[in-house]
Amino acid sequence: MLQALRLQGLPLLSPEDAYRAAAGAQASDDRQGLQAVLNVKSNHKVQSSNLKVQSKLKALLSSTYFGPIQWYQKLNRYDECLIERHESFIKQTYRNRMIISTANGPLSLTIPTNHNTSLAMKDIRISDHANWRHVHWNALLSAYGESPFFEYYQDDIRPFFEKKYEFLFDFNMETTEKMIELLDIRPKISITEEYVLSEERRVKSEESEERRTKSEKFDSLANHKVQSSNLKVQSIVDFRDAIRPKKPLPDAEFAHQRYYQVYEQKYGFQPNMSILDLLFNEGNEAIFYL
């Protein structure tokens, strides 16, 4: 069962700040507090060229519709992932859009919503406009029908395009739970109890405090003797603006790893597609790319 968490007062780091803090802590050779920064939280001992994340950090994520590989990497590598359900709905994001690789190149599949942009994500209702379920399933069938593992997994995925869901957040969470099962990963997932301000908005809202630069925030982390252990237990890395289709913030942890794609010879490798692209092409080997 998912747990709702109140996050007020916990340190909130951008991906860049977390990366720099980890690098600085490694340089200080604080072995007890920070050795875990270089360890992947993975039962499969997956190796990667990118930074291996400290297992005690929490990742703050937006809800996604069969989200990109980058999003599922956080589920696999972080000790706990917090899914934001109180943020305002934003169009043209992974909240209601997945991107797949097709014979004609990358294709965005978007769930229509009956929404007002002032509504929280948890209150967004799915629209039945344009028979989108049929359109999306046929697009997946056309794109991946010849992929190595589509036939093996299609009975697990098809029901999401047959059943009608009222709320987008509920639909996204059920697709996430299914993908966790198929990928054989074991994340701890909680949902937020209230909206979590980004670090930028938090600083702007505190009129009595001068806005610190990223280097100043990092210095504060490095100079605090107990910060290494606090980083393990209490800090949250905010990926909400780092995992989005357009103009994402830097995410130094994530590096695209090439895997087999049906149309690679025609278009070259298409990075960070929907997790379905990885699953249909690599099957139970998909875990090694997360």
pLDDT at 214: 55
pLDDT at 286: 97
At position 140, the amino acid (one-letter code) is L
pLDDT at 195: 86
140: Cβ contacts below 8 Å, ≥ 6 apart: 100, 150, 157, 276
- Kind plus residue range of the DSSP H or E element containing 1: none
Label the pairing between strands 125-126 and 113-114. antiparallel
pLDDT at 133: 97
What is the 8-class DSSP label of residue 96? S
pLDDT at 94: 98
3-class state of residue 44 by DSSP: coil
pLDDT at 21: 64
CA distances from 149 to 72, 141, 160, 280 (A): 19, 12, 18, 5
In whole angstroms, what is the distance from residue 189 CA to residue 174 CA?
12
pTM above 0.85, yes or no: no
**Of 63, 64, 65, nearest to 136 (Cα)?**
65
How many other CB atoms are found less than 10 A from the CB of residue 231?
25
What are the domain boundaries of the chain? 58-195+234-289
* Residue carrying the six token digits 């001992």: 45
pLDDT at 14: 72
Low-confidence ranges of the chain (pLDDT < 70): 1-12, 16-55, 116-117, 198-234
Q: Per DSSP, which regions of the chain are E strands?
A: 3-5, 12-13, 58-62, 80-84, 97-102, 105-110, 113-114, 125-126, 189-192, 236-238
In whole angstroms, what is the distance from residue 208 CA to residue 221 CA?
21
Answer whether 53's CB lies under 8 Å from 41's CB. Answer: yes
